[in-house]
Amino acid sequence: MGTEIGEALELGEGNSVRRTTFLRGRRDDNQHEWLGPDAFLHVAPGVGSSIPEGDAEAIIATGLRAGAGVVANGGAEGGAGLEGRGGDGKKDEIAGTGVLGLGGSGRQSGSAVHSRPGAGLLAMGGAHVVKDLTLDDVNAREPDGCGVLAVPAGTDIPNWDESAHVGVFGQGGHELEHKVTVFGGSSTQGSPFPGAGVVGRGGGRRKKTDTSAATVVPGGGAGVVGMSGGSSLPDVTLQRDAGVVGWSDLKETGRAGVFITKETPQLQLAPVGVPFTGNTPTTKGKPGDLLVTTRKIGAEQTAELWFCDKVNHWNRIA
């Protein structure tokens, strides 16, 4: 059963091979086009009453040792290496994910770590390959492709120049007001708001024992940590309870954040109402904190800017 060279494979049976097996799409000698539908091989469940009960994978591929389970090469004219389409969801359920990546498990015995868990997804952009250089090509430097380009449905893919040479480029979805006529009436369809290009949420904190369910503990990790090139990852204690952490350990030139606009304020600190004792806010603060408060002074609602110079000690600066 498929154990010798040239022997046919048998469906429904165990088969083995000693050499690579090729399945190639071809045309007849008197034909000029591929006569099949859209694939060289199509694997699908039966139809009607022949559909088996339960769930099953269409194809399971296991690599040898460090070999990949599947290597998919796109067509020579810009075809995708892999295209994943999620199945339509059942009623009141979310449809299937286009691609699901699960990293391999790590191994540990007691305190001895034998292997680390793998990433669920590793994305690496294509390299810019330069050939046939001459002495006249003094400026042959071009950027490489981005690692991940993520756009929601119905959104134009950004120009290549905008996303080139970045790890992740996220394009938010557009707000769309689409008027359509339905049974003689009018209906408005489309996304009701413009979406963010990237949303990051830090992990929370949980506590549990062998006999109790997990309980939520206040606090958590940063939603996004941005590091300048050449900087090391900041200590995790500096990443707690912040939406965004900017970090640079480069001397002289390093900046944790730069805000640039055209003829508008570069930064807004939205005023917050906090308790006061006399004329001083009672909010807890760490040295270096800025706080913008709002309160009624006289007949007007007024914003004030405070600077924390010592723990829980505020100085009004504007």
Q: What is the pTM of this model?
A: 0.78
- Is residue 205 within 8 A of residue 186, CB to CB? The reply is no
**Tens-digit pLDDT string for the chain (318 aa):** 555 666 788 888 888 888 888 888 777 777 666 666 678 888 888 888 888 888 889 999 999 999 999 999 999 999 999 999 999 888 788 899 999 999 999 998 988 989 999 999 999 999 888 777 777 766 777 899 999 999 998 888 999 999 999 999 999 999 988 898 888 888 888 889 999 999 999 999 888 887 888 888 888 999 999 999 989 888 888 889 999 999 999 998 999 999 999 999 999 999 999 999 999 999 999 999 999 999 998 899 999 999 999 999 999 999
DSSP secondary structure letters along 227-294: E-TTPPPPPGGGSTT-SEEEE---TTT--S-----SSS-S-----B---EETTEE-----TT-EEEEE
Domain range summary for the chain, segments of one domain joined by +: 269-318
Determine the pLDDT at residue 32: 66
